[in-house]
Amino acid sequence: MAHPTRTRRQFLAHTASGFGATWIAAQWPAIAAVHMHAAAATTNPRSLTFGFLTQDEARDVEALAAQIVPSDDTPGAREAGALHFIDRSLHTWAASIADPFRVGLRDFQAEFATGHPHLTFAAADSQTQVAYLTQVDGTEFFRTIRFLTLLGMFALPSYGGNRDGIGWTLLGFDDTHAYAPPFGYYDRDYAGFIVAEDGV
Amino acid sequence: MTRRFRESERVDFVVVGSGAAGGVMARELAQAGFGVVVMEQGPRLEAQDFEHDELKYWFNYGITNDPARSPQTFRKTTLDEARPPQAGALLPLTYARTVGGSSVHYAANYWRHHEVDFKERSLHGAIPGAALEDWPITYAELEPYYTKVDWEIGVSGLAGAHPNEPPRSQPYPMPPLPVKSSGVLLERGARRLGLHPFPAPLAIASRPYRGRAPCIHCGFCLGFGCEVRAKGSTLYTMIPEAEATGRCEVRGESYVFRLATSPKGRVTGVHYFDRQRRERFQTARAVVVCANGAETPRLLLMSASSQFPDGLANSSGLVGKHLMLNQGSNSFGVFEHELNEYKSVQVTRVVHDFYNTDSKRGFYGGGGIDARIGRNPAFWTLSGPEGPQWGKAYKDHLRSFPRTMLAAGWTTSLPVEANSVSLDPVLKDSWGQPAIRCTYKDHPDDLKFAAWLRDRADEILAAAGALRVWRKPITETTVGLAMLGTCRMGNDPRRSVIDRFHRTHDVANLFVCDGSSFVTSGRGQPTMTIQALAFRAAEQIARFARRNEI
């Protein structure tokens, strides 16, 4: 493939042109369906209201996510919109863990309040948050929110997180639909496979 | 061209399952002139239905069996209580539930078994805690069918590339895929240690092949359906060729839950649920079960009757027993420059120098090491080196993604009778049929060898110049993606379920061919051997049918 295509949509168009008009005619309903799906996903405005979390819960969830992948010289989970991914997950594909998640969050908040009366986790300073998380990062609730935060950083942006591909930029993942060799530094000057002399 | 059969019409063969084995079986029997109905519980999807969506395929059961409809339970031993896995986790026995089966989402590593795989009992003797047996066939008998897979499915590779290669009668039909940085580094490290790395044999087209496009190096093989039909999935190879004969119907969303038998103890057809979950029946002259190493034994056990109280074809009591899931290891090397392993196929170089069991090590086991991506980006981020799994340090670890490669060890599982697929006595699936209960605990040698091979992988990464190496702990197996051994092949009807031609010892017109036929586990890349067995079995079954011996 001489010209890597940037998106699935371009890719499909490219593939189709390569296969000719008959192929397009045969595949058109399927291609159209994919395009409509992609368009719906990209034009759907990211909601600022929540489908599952309360505003209070959302503040603590966002603060938690922001400690799991912090913002430093580069954006973290907060900028990636992990919160919206988590909220959306808990009333869609991860609905089966929504209730345990809420119970876990309440326990997390209650335990924090015992050590810090008059303070919510979200309102605490970063040092206090980190100190508390270090104590509770072995809990099931923490494992769950870590899992959801990472998916909210790195899953497809159409799920509500990974805003503007922030997660992929952090990873150094180039979201292109097809690639051509050389792929990396070490295969650039590869001389070709040579059977070892003691080989066969 | 696709033929449609009436249910009342007595079709020559019903093939249950359309995956690696079922696809081959369907094409071979249809091309041999027989009428074939393939029953597939999953839907028919095509290349344009697949996408690069990790959340969908790895966490939302996009094409795999899912716990909501098809739950399973797991226990380590028969003394433990069997429980469903945690919400969101893969099922203990995970496979792709779609036309083409797991060949749709496989990484397409096509390793042949070596000659030793077929005679390990003779080579190593009895091993305590295991039921190690020789296969009733040899490598030499299977070689022509391995070659058939190379050419009919389309395997890219380089013949004569390493001294441990089993004998081959033909070269590969396509050259290897372009090497990736991980392949160059594995090759460099292994050569420095005196080992013999070689280009990975893959059922992925490296150039246009039989009407299929070559690989576009998109990087989404393992866990995903190929979007350009470059992977040799039976969905793109065998199934359309079977349909093109005009004698084969692939009936999607048709879930066979019971094989029917006559008073004479012969199979008469299959009971199944259609798309609308209505009970249906298809009459057949003979049935070939290719439903995979989990669903095949389950179906035989679900077909128990007063005549066959312990399940069909189960006079040996071994249906579902000797489950083998293969152990393995994960060593990650972080290098100075970018590898960008997320691009292109999973694997481009392999080492088979540790394939054989060596008694000097003090335990049974063998395996291969390959250089690969590991996982696509989101999945990759979920686990890191020992230490904090969140915060600033973890974020720094995430930045090492493009400079990291995985040297994976693929290793043996001994056949242990207690490791099994059985019917859960309580839990039902959403059709009201008994759920799979998986019982599995690795033989101690399996864990010892996986740890031993992981050290070799670490050494290769270090010799390749890795700045640092980190690895995952060797843990007891709780999830399997390739299920082997549960209807083992053998000459003795008391110690095996099928004979050397895949006919069940107990029922003359019932055949079984898939991963369940394996006697030993190989080294964790079974698809090539499953398909070679299927080509061989189909030839024999067609011969029996022509002679009226079914």
Question: Residue A40 — pLDDT band, cuts 50, 70, 90?
Answer: very low
Q: Are B457 and B329 in contact (CB under 8 A)?
A: yes
Q: What is the pLDDT of residues A57-82, one digit of tens each?
A: 999 999 999 999 999 999 999 999 99
Q: Are B172 and B158 in contact (CB under 8 A)?
A: yes
Is residue A96 classed as helix, strand or coil in its secondary structure?
helix
Q: What is the pLDDT of residues A14-23, one digit of tens each?
A: 443 333 333 3
Among candidates B299, B357, B436, B292, which has minimal Cα distance to B130? B357
- Measured in angstroms, the CA of A180 and the nearest CA of chain B are apart by 7
**CA gap B468, B483 in Å, rounded:** 34
Residue B141, both tokens: 């008998």
Q: What is the pLDDT of residues B21-73, one digit of tens each?
A: 999 999 999 999 999 999 999 999 999 999 999 999 999 999 999 999 999 99
B380 conformational bin, left if phi > 0, alpha if psi -120 to 50, beta if neither: alpha
Q: What is the DSSP string of B149-205?
A: HIIIII-B--TT-STTPPP-SS--SBPPPPPPHHHHHHHHHHHHTT--EEEPPBSB-
Mutate to test the interface with B, among A187, A190, A195, A200 (most CBs of B within 10 A): A187
Find the mean pLDDT for residues B405-413. 98
**CA gap A94, A101 in Å, rounded:** 10
**Contact (CB<8Å) A168/B389:** no
**Residues on chain B touching A100 (C-beta within 8 angstroms):** 87
Q: What is the pLDDT of residues B289-338, one digit of tens each?
A: 999 999 999 999 999 999 999 999 999 999 999 999 999 999 999 999 99
**Residues on chain B touching A199 (C-beta within 8 angstroms):** 161-163, 196
Find the mean pLDDT for residues B226-248. 98
b/e burial code for range B271-303 (CB count within 10 A of at least 16 → b): bbbeeeeeebebbbbbbbbbbbbbbbbbbbbbb
Report chain B's mean pLDDT, rounded to a whole number: 97
The pLDDT, as a whole number, for residue B2 is 78
H or E segment to which residue A37 belongs: helix A21-43
User: Chain A: residue nearest B389 by CA?
Assistant: A68
The pLDDT, as a whole number, for residue A196 is 81
Amino acid sitting at position B479: V
- Contact with chain A for residue B51, Cβ under 8 A: yes
Find the mean pLDDT for residues B445-463. 98
pLDDT at A31 over 60: no
pLDDT at A29 over 50: no
pLDDT at A1 over 50: no
- Measured in angstroms, the CA of A134 and the nearest CA of chain B are apart by 9
The pLDDT, as a whole number, for residue A86 is 98
Among candidates B528, B515, B509, which has minimal Cα distance to B488? B515
pLDDT at B351 over 50: yes
Q: What is the pLDDT of residues B116-156, one digit of tens each?
A: 999 999 999 999 999 999 999 999 999 999 999 999 999 99
Residue B222, both tokens: 């393992």
Residue B488, both tokens: 């083992």
**Residues on chain A touching B340 (C-beta within 8 angstroms):** 174, 183-184
pLDDT at A56 over 90: yes
The CA distances from residue B374 to B51, B62, B248, B329, in Å, are 19, 20, 38, 11
Q: Are B528 and B534 in contact (CB under 8 A)?
A: no
The CA distances from residue A188 to A180, B183, B217, in Å, are 11, 12, 16
Instruction: Give the distance from CA B347 to its chain's centroid.
Output: 17
Q: Are A121 and A64 in contact (CB under 8 A)?
A: yes
Instruction: Please name the residues between 11 and 50 in chain B that touch chain A, using a CB distance below 8 Å.
Output: 46, 48-49
Question: Residue A7 — pLDDT band, cuts 50, 70, 90?
Answer: low
**Residues on chain B touching A72 (C-beta within 8 angstroms):** 392, 395
Q: What is the pLDDT of residues B280-295, one digit of tens each?
A: 999 999 999 999 999 9
Question: Residue B76 — pLDDT band, cuts 50, 70, 90?
Answer: very high
Question: Residue A4 — pLDDT band, cuts 50, 70, 90?
Answer: very low
Q: CA triplet A132, A128, A140: central angle to 5 degrees?
A: 20
The pLDDT, as a whole number, for residue A194 is 93
Q: What is the pLDDT of residues B147-195, one digit of tens each?
A: 999 999 999 999 999 999 999 999 999 999 999 999 999 999 999 999 9
Among candidates B152, B153, B150, which has minimal Cα distance to B170? B150
Percent of chain A at pLDDT > 70 equals: 74
Amino acid sitting at position A149: T
Find the mean pLDDT for residues B483-489. 98
The pLDDT, as a whole number, for residue B470 is 96
Which residues on neighbouring strands pair with residue B371, listed in sequence order?
A: B407
H or E segment to which residue A25 belongs: helix A21-43
State the alpha helices, DSSP H only, in B59-134.
120-124
Q: How many CB atoms lie within 10 A of CB A113?
A: 13
Please compute, for residue B10, the number of CA atoms within 13 A of its CA located in the half-sphere on the CB side.
Answer: 4
Percent of chain A at pLDDT > 90 equals: 72
Q: Which of B196, B340, B381 sits opposite A150 (nearest CB)?
A: B381
**Residues on chain B touching A185 (C-beta within 8 angstroms):** 181, 337-339
The pLDDT, as a whole number, for residue A116 is 96
The pLDDT, as a whole number, for residue A49 is 81
pLDDT at A154 over 60: yes
ipTM given for this complex: 0.94
Instruction: Give the distance from CA B37 to its chain's centroid.
Output: 23
